[in-house]
Amino acid sequence: MQRIKEQPQVQNFIDGSFERNGHTPMDVISPLDGSIISSLPLSTYDDVDKAVQVAHKAYPEWSGKTLKERVQIFFKYRTLLEEHMEELTNLVQLENGKTYGEAKAEVEKSMELCEFAVSMPQIVVNEIQEVSKGVECRIERKPLGVVACITPFNFPNMVPHWTMPNALVLGNTMVMKPSELVPLSTMRMAELLQEAGLPKGVFNIVNGGKEVVEAICDHPKIEAVSFVGSTKVAKIVYKRATASLKRCVALGGAKNHLLVLPDANPEMTASNVVASMSGCAGQRCMAASVMVGVDKVQHIIDRMVEETKKIVPGENLGSVISAAAKERIEGYITEAENNGAKVLVDGRNATVPGKEGGFYVGPTILDYVTTDMSVAREEIFGPVISIIRAKNLDEAIDIENGSNYGNAAAVFTQSGGLAKQVMERASAGMIGVNIGVPVPREPFSFGGWNESKFGVGDITGRSSIEFWTQNKKTTTKWNPEAQINWMS
Ligand code: NAD
C-alpha cells in the first residue's frame, strides 16, 4: 500500500511538545483509497497520567487569567482556522473520506464554535445582589480543573471544537483523546493553538483506543469528561466516569426519523431527505435513517429515487470510514432485502475508478421496511434510508417514539398545525420542520434525548457553560453597622 509521505507520524502532544511513546503503533488508513497515511501510538494509563499532571500544573496560571485575557487567544486561533482552511479541509478529507465541500463545512462550523467561545465575556456575567442591608451575595462561575474529551471519527475537526474552545476559555485545562481512526486533524489543532499563543500544558492530546478512554474515566485528577461516539461506548464511559465521581456528558448514536406527510412540497422534501441520508456518506449522528411516509407519498418517493441517481460515489459522495463499516452497512441492506424490504436504489458493491482500495457504499433506498427489521431499529451509519409506510400521523409519531434513540426527528409538511404536533410529540432532542438535518447553530445547544445522550445538559452553547464551570457563592459584609440578623 502506498504511503503519503507528507503526513507526520501521530504523536501525543504533552506540555507543548509532540512526543512518541514507543508503544505498539497502529496504521492510520485513508478511507478514500485504503492507503496507509500515518501510524498512531496506542498509549496507556501512564501517558494519560503524564498529560494530566502537565494539565494540572498549567491550571493555576491559566485559570488565574481573566476571561477577557483567555478569549484573546481564541480570536487569533479562529483567524488561523480561516487562514488554514484549505489545508484543514484537505486533512479532514484525507483521514475521514468525506467530500471536499463537507470537509470545508466542518472547518467552517469549527470557526462558528470559536465565535461562540470568544463571546463568553458578553454572556458569562456574574450575579450580585444586596440581600439585606449591607450584605451582598454573589455567584461567580469558576472552572473545574483538568477536563477530558473523547471524540469519534465522523467529524475529525468539528467535534473536538464542540468542547475545546468553550472548556478552555472558561479556564479549564484539557486532555483530548481523538478517535484513533482520524487523529491528524487534532494534532494540527494543537499546533495552531500553540501558534495562537495558548500556554504549554493547557491543551494536551493522548492518542490510542480503549485503554486511554478507561484511563481518562479512572484518573482521579480529571474533573469532567465529555464523550461523543456510539451508544454502546457512551454507556460504558458514562458509567465508568461517574463511578469515579466525575461530571460526564456522553453523546451516543442515533436513529433519526423523518416524517413525510402527503402535503409536503415534493421537490424540497425529496432533495432534503436524500441529502440528509447521504451527506457525509450517512455518517452523521443527525442523518436521516428512517423515513416514515404517511398515507399517499409515492410521488415524493419517486422523486427521491430520481434525486438519488444524481449521487455518485467518489464524486459527490464520500467514502465510509473503513472496510468493516462497508461490510456492516451492506450486510444490513442484504438482511433487509432477505426479510422482504424492497431495494429501490442499491448502493452495494460500489467502486470508484482509480480508488479501488477505498471504502464506498452508494446511496440506498429501502422501501416497505417494517418496524421489526434491524434496519428500522439499529443505527446503520451509512447512506441508507429505510422507508416505513404509516396510515396516519398518529401511527407515524408512535413509530418515532418507539426508537431507543432520540437525537433528531423532522417533519415535512406545509401544515403548521400538523408540524406542531410533531414538534410537541416527537421524542428527540433536536426537531426539524422541513429541515432534514436540524443541527442547532450556535449559540443554540446540541444534544439528543433517550439513548442518544447520557448526563445533564447539552454539549455546546449556553448549556456547555454549566457543564464546564461550577458556581462559587460568596456572601460579604464590610460595614460593621450593617443590620444584625441570622446571617451575621
Ligand atoms: P465509537 O463509540 O466507536 O468511538 C468513540 C470513541 O470511543 C473513540 O475515541 C474510540 O477510541 C473510543 N472507544 C471505542 N470503543 C471503545 C471501548 N470499547 N471502550 C472505550 N472506548 C472506546 O464511535 P465512532 O465509531 O468513532 O463514531 C460513530 C458513532 O458516534 C455513531 O454511533 C454516531 O452516531 C456517534 N456520534 C454521535 C454524535 C452525537 O452528537 N450524538 C455525534 C457524532 C457521532
Q: What would the 3-class secondary structure string for 158-202 be? A: HHHHHHHHHHHHCCCEEEEECCCCCCHHHHHHHHHHHHHCCCCCC
Q: Write 428-435 long-range contacts (CB < 8 A, 24+).
A: 428/256, 428/257, 428/400, 428/452, 429/453, 429/458, 430/286, 432/258, 432/408, 434/264, 434/265, 434/268, 434/269, 434/272, 434/410, 435/272, 435/410
Distance, in Å, from the CA atom of 113 to the CA atom of 161, rounded to the nearest integer, reads 6
Distance, in Å, from the CA atom of 219 to the CA atom of 215, rounded to the nearest integer, reads 6
Q: Does residue 152 line the site of ligand 1, with CB under 6 A?
A: yes
Distance, in Å, from the CA atom of 88 to the CA atom of 95, rounded to the nearest integer, reads 11
Q: Does residue 222 line the site of ligand 1, with CB under 6 A?
A: no
Q: Where in the chain is the domain with CATH 3.40.309.10?
A: 256-433
Q: Where in the chain is the domain with CATH 3.40.605.10?
A: 12-252+452-473
Q: Does residue 228 line the site of ligand 1, with CB under 6 A?
A: yes
Cα 168 to averaged position of ligand 1 atoms, centre (Å):
23
Cα 84 to averaged position of ligand 1 atoms, centre (Å):
27
Q: Is-catalytic flag, 285? A: yes
Supply 289's cell numbers.
435513517
Q: Whose CA is nearest to atom 9 of ligand 1?
A: 179
Cα 440 to averaged position of ligand 1 atoms, centre (Å):
21
Q: Does residue 445 line the site of ligand 1, with CB under 6 A?
A: no
Supply 48's cell numbers.
494519560
Tell me if the pTM is above 0.95: yes
> Is there a contact between 100 and 88 (Cβ–Cβ < 8 Å)?
no
Q: Does residue 183 line the site of ligand 1, with CB under 6 A?
A: no
Cα 229 to averaged position of ligand 1 atoms, centre (Å):
2
Distance, in Å, from the CA atom of 349 to the CA atom of 369, rounded to the nearest integer, reads 21
Beta-carbon contacts of 258 under 8 Å, excluding residues fewer than 6 positions away, are 273, 276, 288, 290, 291, 292, 409, 410, 411, 412, 432, 436
| Residue numbers of the chain with a pLDDT score lower than 70 | 1-6, 482-488
Counted residue by residue, the chain has a size of 488
Distance, in Å, from the CA atom of 355 to the CA atom of 2, rounded to the nearest integer, reads 12
Q: Does residue 311 line the site of ligand 1, with CB under 6 A?
A: no
What CATH number does domain 256-433 carry, 2.60.120.460, 3.40.309.10, 3.40.220.10, 3.30.450.40?
3.40.309.10
> Is there a contact between 343 and 352 (Cβ–Cβ < 8 Å)?
no
Q: How many CB atoms lie within 10 A of CB 486?
A: 5
Identify which of 227, 229, 116, 123 has the alpha carbon closest to the alpha carbon of residue 166: 116
Supply 382's cell numbers.
451509512
Per-residue CA distances from 292 to 123, 212, 297, 308 (Å): 40, 40, 10, 18
Q: Whose CA is nearest to atom 17 of ligand 1?
A: 210
Cα 35 to averaged position of ligand 1 atoms, centre (Å):
23
End-to-end, the C-alpha distance of the chain in Å comes to: 76
What CATH number does domain 12-252+452-473 carry, 3.40.605.10, 3.30.420.40, 3.20.20.70, 3.30.1600.10?
3.40.605.10
Handedness of CA 282, 287, 288, 289 (dihedral sign): positive
Q: In which region does residue 450 sit, left (phi positive, over 0), alpha (psi from -120 to 50) or beta (all else)?
A: left
Handedness of CA 242, 244, 248, 254 (dihedral sign): negative
The per-residue DSSP string of 97-111 comes to ---HHHHHHHHHHHH
Distance, in Å, from the CA atom of 234 to the CA atom of 452, rounded to the nearest integer, reads 9
**β-strands 256-260, 288-294 pairing:** parallel
Please give the pLDDT value at position 24.
82
Best residue among 285, 321, 430, 450 to mutate for probing ligand 1's pocket (most ligand atoms within 8 Å of CB) is: 285
> Is there a contact between 249 and 467 (Cβ–Cβ < 8 Å)?
yes
Supply 454's cell numbers.
447520557
For residue 246, give the amino acid letter: K
Q: Whose CA is nearest to atom 22 of ligand 1?
A: 210
Best residue among 28, 228, 444 to mutate for probing ligand 1's pocket (most ligand atoms within 8 Å of CB) is: 228
Distance, in Å, from the CA atom of 157 to the CA atom of 103, rounded to the nearest integer, reads 9
Cα 243 to averaged position of ligand 1 atoms, centre (Å):
20
Supply 261's cell numbers.
406527510
Supply 459's cell numbers.
454539549
List, for residues 427-483, the tens digit of each pLDDT value.
Answer: 999 999 999 999 999 999 999 999 999 999 999 999 999 999 999 999 999 887 766
Cα 209 to averaged position of ligand 1 atoms, centre (Å):
11
Distance, in Å, from the CA atom of 127 to the CA atom of 115, rounded to the nearest integer, reads 24
Residue with grid cell 468553550, as numbered in its chain: 166
Give the HSE-up count for residue 388: Cα atoms under 13 Å, Cβ half-sphere: 26
Catalytic option among 149, 217, 280, 285: 285
Identify which of 429, 456, 51 has the alpha carbon closest to the alpha carbon of residue 247: 456
Q: Whose CA is nearest to atom 21 of ligand 1?
A: 210
Please give the pLDDT value at position 307.
97
List, for residues 347-405, the tens digit of each pLDDT value.
Answer: 999 999 999 999 999 999 999 999 999 999 999 999 999 999 999 999 999 999 999 99
Identify which of 8, 12, 11, 9 has the alpha carbon closest to the alpha carbon of residue 175: 12
Please give the pLDDT value at position 3.
38
Atom number, ligand 1, closest to the C-alpha of residue 214: 20
Q: Does residue 180 line the site of ligand 1, with CB under 6 A?
A: yes
Distance, in Å, from the CA atom of 56 to the CA atom of 50, rounded to the nearest integer, reads 10
What radius of gyration, in Å, describes the C-alpha atoms of the chain? 24
